[in-house]
Every structure is written in C-alpha cells, then in structure tokens.
Amino acid sequence: MSILKNKISLGSSSALFSLLQDSNESVASLAMEQILQLPDFEAQIRSAQDSSEPMLRRRVHQLSSIARRREYMGQFLRSALKGRIGLWRAMLLLDHLYDQQSSFSYLESMSKALIHEFSSSRGGSNSLARFMREHKFCIPGDNWFDVGNYLLGDVLESRVGSSALLCIIAQHIGSFRGWHSHIVLHQGRYCLLDQNLSMIDPSEDWKLHRKLKDELYHICDSKAVLTSIISQLFAFALVNWDPWEIHLFSKMLLSMAKLGAEELPYPLGNYNSPTVKKTGEG
C-alpha cells in the first residue's frame, strides 16, 4: 500500500488521470478517490472524456457516475433533513440512488402516460380510485419483503407495491387534475384523504370511505412517510445482510434523524450492544 500512496502522491491532475489506466485496480481506485476531490473536477472530467484510450474513457465514465450519485445523495439528504422535499421527487432520487441503471426520463415517461390517461376523466376521488383499480395497481398478495415494493420504478412497471408507494403515485397523478389530498395512516395502512374527508384505501382495492371521523386517521407529513419507506428498505437490507444496501439506507436514516452511526443497533452500532453498559446499571 505504501507503494500505491507514493505513486498517488506524485501529484498533478495529469498524473492522476494517467494512473486511471493502470492495470492495478487498487492504483486506479486510489487515483479516482483523489480525482473526485479536485476543485476543478468537472472541467477535468470534460477534458478527459473524449480520450482515445478506452480504459481512460471507461474510468472517466465511472467517475462521472459516482459524482452524480454523490450529488443526488447530497440533494436528497439536504432536502429531506429540512423537510422540504416532495415525495415524488424523493422517490425519483431514491430509485436512482438504489439502481444505477434507473433513468429519470424513463420514470417520468411512465408517470406521464398515466397522467395523460387520467386527464380525460372527470377527476375527483371516485374517478381516481376507479382509475387506479382499473390499471391494476395493488398491494402484494405475497412476497411482502420484496425491495421492489418500495421503489418507484418497480411499482410503476409491475403495478404492485406497498400502500405508501401506491398513495404517492395516485397523489401525483391526481394533482394534475387539481385533486389535492393528504397521505394518512388508517389502521396501520397508508391511505389518501381528500379535502372532503373522503378516504381512498389502496389496501382495500381502492375503496372509498366517506366522511371519515378525525380519530380514525393520522395525517403524515412528507418526512414521516419518507422515513417509513427508508426504514422498511433498511430492514430488508438487514434481513438480506447486503453491505451496500445497509450503508445506503442507514446513511439516509441517520442523516434524517441527525444521529451518529453509533446509534444503529448492534452489531452495526452500539445500540443494544452486549459490551456497552446500559444507563442506570450499577
């Protein structure tokens, strides 16, 4: 490793870019780490992306992808922390952060097709509930632990997803017809409540409940819904023990809750660790 550090410390940006072509993956990775920290990173990438060297072009493409994901993660965390991120935008970013092949344009094209179809309806809660039912949007009959139930792209493609994702999609479609709603919790399920206190329950095949009493629902803000979704994804990552997914979703949760990594449950953090003395113990 000392040899690698000496090679990296040779210095200039041109030297770093030349190391991207090194056959030793460790050398190339260290060079990429340094390049990502360059103050003129974007300009350097632009100048190198048309190189005649295939290896250099490939690694420059990797660098661009890493930089975009970092930018999206920063955007996601800053907005979520302040509670200023809309759920639709949050789901777009989350899908892209999870799946490198995800495309914003593809996700938007699927949603625009649905919006276009719904635009010819009369609008309102009844029409929206019927529209979602006729387009086969539903909660999963089995395989509740499928990550895809909580990812926008998967749900738009399969029409199967968690009640939270189904509410977000329906709310987004309805908003283009001037239909406004809140996402609420009702008997542990996410539902949509319109301005007339009529509630659409996607878990009951989009059944419409009229004039719901206040004590039967709890209005959720965007941050609460988003935290719930990411918590589910984090739980699935733990069950599958996928290191990359655990890192991704724990970083989101900890940032949103303003907590340190030590607050994670043992063995990821110190919470409930057998080696940490509990408060109040003598």
- Digit-coded pLDDT (tens) for 150-203: 999 999 999 999 999 999 999 999 999 999 999 999 999 999 999 999 999 999
The residue-averaged pLDDT of 5-19 equals 65
Given a contact cutoff of 8 angstroms between Cβ atoms, the answer to whether 229 and 223 are in contact is no
Strand order across the beta sheet in which 189-194 lies? 207-209, 199-201, 189-194, 181-186, 218-219
For residue 49, the number of C-alpha atoms closer than 13 Å in the C-beta half-sphere is 11
**pTM of this prediction?**
0.81
Maximum Cα–Cα distance for the chain, whole Å?
A: 72
- Digit-coded pLDDT (tens) for 95-145: 999 998 889 999 999 999 999 999 888 889 999 999 999 999 999 988 888
Q: What are 192's strand-pairing partners?
A: 183, 200
For 60, phi then psi, to 5°, come to: -65, -40
- Digit-coded pLDDT (tens) for 75-95: 888 887 777 789 999 999 999
